[in-house]
Structures are given as structure tokens and as C-alpha cells.
Structure 1
Amino acid sequence: MTLGLTPYLFMDGNAKEAINFYEQALGARVQFVQSFGEMPENPDFPLPEAAKDRVSHALLKIGESDLMLSDSFPGHSPQVGNQVTICIQSSDKERSHTIFEALQQGGRVQMPLQETFFSPAYGTVTDKFGVTFHIFTEDAQP
């Protein structure tokens, strides 16, 4: 039996922008994207015109990991907070720096990327969408 855990981000109408951003910043590969307008219609739950172009579900592959995201319905904005953060692990210090620099564009640094007692390069950054990432570089053992 296999058990997995996948972060799922709810965006407020900017999921397409986030997908493009994560493609650039993290090298994400889009596996699937569907808009609310592409879903089968349900007469019991009519789709507002403003929701048709929003992303109903997307799956991105980042390295060996999955990231899912979707937009909320107009008027049902998700709450921005720190209940969920994402830790990106790397064995390459240079790659960690590249990712950290990309994610901080339009965002804010919580803890600068730096050497710590547990990592040669660790830092925390909240991107321009309000998603907080921990960048953790594995310490190469001799």
C-alpha cells in the first residue's frame, strides 16, 4: 500500500499566473490543467460567468513531487495564512540559491538563505501569492 501527501493551494483567481510563475521559479512541469468552464455542466449548480476561466484543478510536477492548485469561486476567496507551508529540499546549494532568488521576486523574505547548524543553505520566503516556502539544502556528507 502506498500513501502520499500532496500540497494543494487554493488561489483567488490567479492560479494561471501562479502556474506560470512556478514553471519559471521552480522548473515545474504542468501535468494537467482544467478550467471550471471545461467541466461538465450541472443544472443544479449553474456556473457563474466569472468562474469559467478560473482553474478548477491543476497538477504540477516539481522534481519528483506533485503540487496541486485551483482557483476559488468568485466571492469565495481563500484565507491567506501560514497554516500550510512547503519545504523544498535540494542537495545542490546553487540550486537552492536559484530557487530562493526566484521565489522572492514580488514576495518577501522571512529568513534569508544562509548557513545554519543543520543546513549549508536554509531560508524561508513567502512568494507573491502568499505561499511560504522553506528552502532546505541537505548537508553533503564526506
Structure 2
Amino acid sequence: MAILHAYLNFNGNCEEAFEFYQSVFNTTSLGVYRFKDMPADPNSPLPTEVADKVMHTAIKINDSVMLMGSDCIEGFGHKATAGTNAYLMLDTQTAEEAKDLYNKLTVAAKNIEMPLGEQFWAELYSSFQDKYGISWMIHFEGNKKMQ
């Protein structure tokens, strides 16, 4: 069964926010991926000013709850606004579960930001707004553990 986590999006101050949340919940970071950690794409060079922004970070609030977040980069077509500044993130136990949830939740979806597929940080990942405008992420980490 999938585990539900909160995923927060920021317009450039994710790192500051998560330092604050670490102090609030008396916990440490599980790690940080920065945009400069992405594999280079010669068709879409990474602007210098966003290289150190947070692509993904996470903290554990307790044994079963994580808070995750990232900075949104407008040049990549994403800006944190009311409605997309928080996502419901389903962290699945298997690839089959990820595919099943994706197929069910995306029926008549309003917007598919990223179709379900492999990423360098996850075997399967997707983000979208369902037919009711609720923002979801589906994630199956598989053998791609965060460092």
C-alpha cells in the first residue's frame, strides 16, 4: 500500500524553509538534490542562477511521515502558486502499484506535468493535477536511493 507524504514547492527559498522545518521537528535532512545534479541536457542548458536551487529534499517527521520539497524554476515551466505549492505524494512499494495508481488518478486529468517514467532519482515518477485540480506525485524509488 502506498504511503502518503506532503510535498511543498517554493519559489527559491526551499533550502531556508527546510532548515526551519528541521529545527521545528528536531530532525535532520535526508539529503538534497540540486538542479546542478541533473544530467546535462545540451538542448536545455541550466541557467547559472538556478544551479544551486533545491530540486528535491526531504526530512522525516516521524517513522511514517516525511515532508519533502523543491524550488520551482519558471524557466522549466513550473512556478509555485496556490494550488501547485503543495502536492499529495504517493510513495509506492512496487512499480506495479505506481502504474495502477497513475492509471486511475490520471483519468480525465487537468494537467500532466510529467508522465509516469524513469528519472535519475526514481525508477518511476509522475506529477499531475487530477480532474478535480488536486496536485499529485507518484513515486517508486526502487533501486535509486537518495544519497
> What's the TM-score once normalised by structure 1's chain length?
0.52
Which one-letter code corresponds to 1:26 in the other structure?
Answer: F
Aligned twin of 2:7 = 8
Aligned twin of 1:43 = 42
- Say which structure is richer in strand: 2
CA distance in structure 2 between the aligned counterparts of 1:70 and 1:63, rounded to whole angstroms: 20
List gaps (5 residues or longer) in structure 2: 89-147
Cα 1:26–1:70, aligned 2, differ >3 Å: closer, same or farther? same
Cα 1:85–1:33, aligned 2, differ >3 Å: closer, same or farther? closer
Cα 1:59–1:84, aligned 2, differ >3 Å: closer, same or farther? closer
CA contact (8 A) 1:31 1:58 kept: yes
List gaps (5 residues or longer) in structure 1: 87-142
Matches within 5 A, 1:1-142: 2-64=1-63, 65-74=65-74, 76-80=78-82, 84=86
CA contact (8 A) 2:60 2:66 kept: yes
Cα 1:85–1:41, aligned 2, differ >3 Å: closer, same or farther? closer
Determine which structure has more spread, i.e. the larger CA radius of gyration: 1
CA distance in structure 1 between the aligned counterparts of 2:84 and 2:35, rounded to whole angstroms: 27
CA distance in structure 2 between the aligned counterparts of 1:29 and 1:45, rounded to whole angstroms: 33
CA contact (8 A) 1:51 1:74 kept: no
Deviation at 1:82, TM superposition (A): 9.6
CA deviations over 1:29-86 (Å, ceiling 9, x no partner):
2112011012221112211111101001112111221111000114643103698599
Identity of aligned residues (%): 34
CA contact (8 A) 2:8 2:85 kept: no
Cα 1:9–1:83, aligned 2, differ >3 Å: closer, same or farther? closer
Higher relative contact order (CA 8 A, sep 6+): 2
Cα 1:7–1:39, aligned 2, differ >3 Å: closer, same or farther? same
Tell which deviates more after alignment, 24-33 or 49-58. Answer: 24-33
CA contact (8 A) 1:60 1:67 kept: yes
> What's the TM-score once normalised by structure 2's chain length?
0.50
